[in-house]
Chain A
Amino acid sequence: MFEFKLPDLGEGIHEGEILKWHVAEGQTIGEDEPLVDIETDKAAVTIPSPRGGRVVRLGGAEGDTVAVGQVIAVIDDGAEAEAPAAEAEPAATPAGPAAGPGPAAPEEPAAAPAAPTPPVRPARRVAAAPATRRLARELGVDLASIPGTGPGGRITADDVRRAAAGGGPAPQAAGGPSPPPEGEPITGTTAGIPFLEIEPLPDFAQLGPVEREPVRSIRRKVARRMTTSMILVPHVALLEDCDVTELERFRREERTRREGEPGGRLSLLPFVVKAVTHCLAEFPMFNASLDPARGEIIYKKFYNVGFAADTPRGLVVPVVRGTDARSVVEISAEIIRLAEAARDGRIDAADFQGGTFTITNIGPLGGKGLIPTINYPESAILGMGRAAPQAVVRDGEIVVRTILPLTLAFDHRIADGADAARFMSRLVGLLSRPLSWLVEA
């Protein structure tokens, strides 16, 4: 009998949602045959069965969330049972708020002349002191999914802190408010922020037909990260128009010339990535993160530029690594590869990690410009509007030029408006005079 535990799906990923089982209980499966499709916060992956045999039990239904290390399938491979796992089966006693009615103590209130009945629990329970349980709620840690290091498998406060530090966008490290426990509807008020009161939603169904859909997966990740960013980071945005007439002319030529080459399908984005990288080296406050716990600013000496990609499953931000060491056409090739992989849902989780700056290019889809939200914990984000011909005044004359509206939103704790103005003017300088790159970039 082989217990297959959900394997490590990449750094920072602790759980996934079961999209689809490829087998049913009772069926047989061959070694390395597809077992299950799991969607994580970042991507969908197909996990093959590490053993062949009869599937005795599946550890969840489609739509369920399973934790890394949780048994997702029991396969009868003819071998002896493995030594019983020492720790309690994570799914057995969820410690998070249960959806159903509270403590189940089926006392007959009227009929039974019985003494009061304390509630019943399984022998194997998540053992943690009340204060530790509260800490877990505060840090959004699911006690059922972490191992306890104390005697008898007791979960200590340190265990909880460790789990919290390793997981998610760790807002607790930044000293910010912690997200509400998973799946818990937000009503009432949020502590700590004066005047912030979240009123219960009106009953929209009274007004017209509605449909409800659970917030899952990518949507949940985006919601969390954007909320964290908006609540935690004082945003300021600087807007500028950039004349890309020459760059566009040059880009079109190059694109035609390089047709069929890897990365030859040049868009404006790789040029902007390259120029931004150049500016980041000169203005390190836009390639930084604030560590409020230690009262320090962390300047990153590496350049990984993420770009927002719209996929059928929602917004994702693949990261182009080491943009300082790559040419524009190499960056272009990487962007094309990542965008396609993201669209098809077969991108590696690692490709979403380690970004130091993000660019969001809404232009091709429409919109004159946008004021983006910083991709926490980065310190700035660049929004690109649509590059389009516009009437502008040059030397007292009205001329038609191709104008790209740019917005730099930045963390005002780390940088000031003057820094942003200098960054922007440098960026505009590079993009509007591409030949200057010959001289300096």
Chain B
Amino acid sequence: MVMGSLGQETDLLVIGAGPGGYVAALRAADLGREVILVEERDLLGGVCLIEGCIPSKALIHAVEVAHLARESERLGVIGGGVTIDIDKLRRHKQQTVRALTSGVRSLLDNRNVEVVRGRARFTGPGEVRLEGADVASIRFRHAIIATGSHGARLPFGDDLPLWGSREALELPEVPKSLLVIGGGYIGLELGFVYAGLGSKVTVVEMLPQLLTGADPDLAAVVARRAAKRFDDVLLEARVEKVTKTKTGFSVTIAHGGETKRRTFGQVLVAVGRTPNTGDLGLDAAGITLDEHGRIPVDEACRTSVPGIFAIGDVTPGPMLAHRASRQAKVAAEVIAGHPAAFDNVAIPGVVFTEPELSWVGITEQEAREQDLAVRVGRFPLSALGRARAMGSTEGMVKVIADAESGLVLGVGIVGPHASDLISEGALAIEMGATLEDLAVTIHPHPTLSEALMEAAEVALGSVVHLARRPT
């Protein structure tokens, strides 16, 4: 049989098995659709499971535990020589990833989703060709593009063995010194990991603030800690040139009007991510990209071509796994004829730095820029019993609400467990909760979650746990 003629047909073709694609495939199968999922890697789960959220959190957790052990002398814990065995840690990370990806595989098998390994490329609005697969082509009635993104490269240094986040998460070694290019969340998370493992870390950021996008008062708490943990943090600085030396890299950095040369054992490039839309044959499908190479979609995740949907990092919006998974369900449901829509008003942003930082809905800065009449309530963790008991008093919770109606518009948190605490803010915003709803809901004592209730009371002007301002 001629390989080229081997074609298949399906009701729904999903391209990419990340948290967008595999969730879409599962949901669509549950809704009775016949689904083929195409993935070019041998492991399922996409960037998130294999080289993103999950492995990074495994490393971050280990480093955090070691820190706590080392730094809890005040609490009477004498840590002594706490060290991290990176071979063991690497194994733990690999096992975590393996368990989760095989979990995805069995969920797909369980629903009879056909998984085809290969690289898909559109040849028309109803067909893809596959490379590296037993199946040569697939004709579909519906398709969901969920091909995700990859780390953006520097304009130079393509020939150098620089790390991206993927290489850093492999944990090949702990370099003596590490330059992190990019002070966004991926750069900082990995910076804290390697600082915790013993590298001397320098962060270079082009903009005047770390974690651009987060409110400056929240980001400042992380920046203070970064200043302690890292060798150096250079803001409004630009890496101009990198060359390989015998033991590492020589780097030219423009900063504060002068040009410095420094050497580092390793360089990590974390300057954003680029959607995987370049080599998909989207022209043949009739899909036009926006100026950032993303696929425009409507609220139902439909592209401009009937029957073709797009979700996750390839679509405009924050590149986050939980957004991809929510869009996945919307697309699958719309294809199954349900009136679903991605009408979420709040997508939480979560940063696993030290301490953690998270926010959802509008930021205070955005409210000011847009001249919105808002009320802001801020509650410092230093006034919270549980945070004191834990010895972690750096941080705060703040809530931003419409001045007139009290509708909660945004929540920002910096401090321990900020990533878990933010969900209450997301729920409040989605539900259309008011400050009063947050303030009168009983929050268990003593917990960190009380801080959001207190912040709401601050915004309402009725807080009892802070000193009253003279009136």
Contact = CB atoms under 8 A, between A and B. Distances in A.
Interface in B360-416: 360-363, 366-367, 370, 372-374, 402-403, 405-407, 409
B62 interface: no
B441 to A, nearest CB: 13
Interface in A133-192: 133-134, 137-138, 148, 150-155, 178, 180-181, 184-185, 187-192
A129 B316 contact: no
B290 to A, nearest CB: 7
Contacts of B317: 102-105, 107, 119
Contacts of A134: 339-340
Interface stretch (B107-115, B256-264, B298-306): B298-306
Which of B340, B343, B360, B430 has its CB near the most chain A CB atoms (within 10 A)? B343
A200 B359 contact: no
A178 B337 CA distance: 12
Contacts of B436: 151
Q: Is chain A's interface secondary structure helix, strand, loop, or mixed overall?
A: loop
A100 B152 CA distance: 27
B415 to A, nearest CB: 16
A137 B341 CA distance: 9
A120 B362 contact: yes
B359 A153 contact: no
B157 interface: no
Which of A95, A116, A120, A199 has its CB near the most chain B CB atoms (within 10 A)? A116
Contacts of B213: 107, 114-117
A439 interface: no
Interface stretch (B68-76, B346-354, B459-467): B346-354
B187 interface: yes
Interface in A385-416: none
Nearest to B431: A129
Contacts of A99: 298
A365 interface: no
Given A114-B212, A129-B431, A191 B336 contact: yes
B288 to A, nearest CB: 11
A148 B434 CA distance: 14
B345 interface: yes
Given A116-B319, A130-B344, 19 more contacts: A101-B297, A101-B316, A103-B344, A104-B317, A109-B292, A113-B207, A116-B185, A118-B347, A118-B359, A121-B409, A123-B402, A128-B432, A129-B432, A148-B432, A150-B432, A152-B402, A154-B431, A187-B307, A201-B306
A409 B349 CA distance: 59
14 contacts: A100-B296, A105-B317, A105-B318, A108-B292, A109-B273, A112-B207, A113-B184, A113-B270, A115-B213, A116-B349, A118-B349, A134-B339, A150-B432, A188-B307
Nearest to B306: A200
Q: Give the contact-size bracket for chain B.
A: 35 or more
Q: Give the contact-size bracket for chain A.
A: 35 or more
A125 interface: yes
Nearest to B432: A127
B163 interface: no
B343 A120 contact: no
B405 A152 contact: yes
Interface of B: 141-142, 149, 152, 181-185, 187, 205-207, 211-214, 270-275, 290, 292-294, 296-302, 306-307, 313, 315-320, 334-349, 351, 359-363, 366-367, 370, 372-374, 402-403, 405-407, 409, 430-432, 434, 436-437
Contact of B337 (A109, A116, A190, A199): A190
Contacts of A105: 316-318, 347
Given A98-B299, A101-B296, A188-B336, A117 B349 contact: yes
A188 B337 contact: yes
Nearest to A151: B434
B184 A112 contact: yes
Contacts of B363: 118
A112 B306 contact: no
A112 B313 CA distance: 15
Contact of A95 (B301, B343, B362, B407): B343
Q: Is chain B's interface secondary structure helix, strand, loop, or mixed overall?
A: loop
A230 B214 CA distance: 54
Contacts of B184: 112-115
Contact of B319 (A109, A113, A121, A154): A109
B182 A113 contact: yes
Contact of B272 (A110, A128, A137): A110
Nearest to A88: B405
A191 B33 CA distance: 12
Contacts of A189: 335-337
Interface in A251-301: none
A155 B405 CA distance: 13
A78 interface: no
Contact of A118 (B142, B318, B342, B373): B318
A185 B206 contact: no
Given A109-B273, A113-B207, A121-B345, A137 B337 contact: no
Nearest to B353: A115
Contact of A191 (B152, B302, B338, B405): B338
Contact of B339 (A106, A114, A123, A138): A138
A123 B319 contact: no
A122 interface: yes
A153 B347 CA distance: 22
Nearest to B403: A123
A45 to B, nearest CB: 32
B340 to A, nearest CB: 7
Which of A113, A114, A125, A129 has its CB near the most chain B CB atoms (within 10 A)? A113
Nearest to A135: B339
A210 interface: no
Nearest to A180: B339
Contacts of B337: 188-192
A111 interface: yes
Given A108-B292, A113-B187, A130 B430 contact: yes
A26 interface: no
Contacts of B370: 120, 122-123
A101 B298 contact: yes
Nearest to A177: B337
Contacts of B402: 123-124, 152
A103 B298 CA distance: 8
A104 B340 CA distance: 18
A110 B274 contact: yes
A172 to B, nearest CB: 12
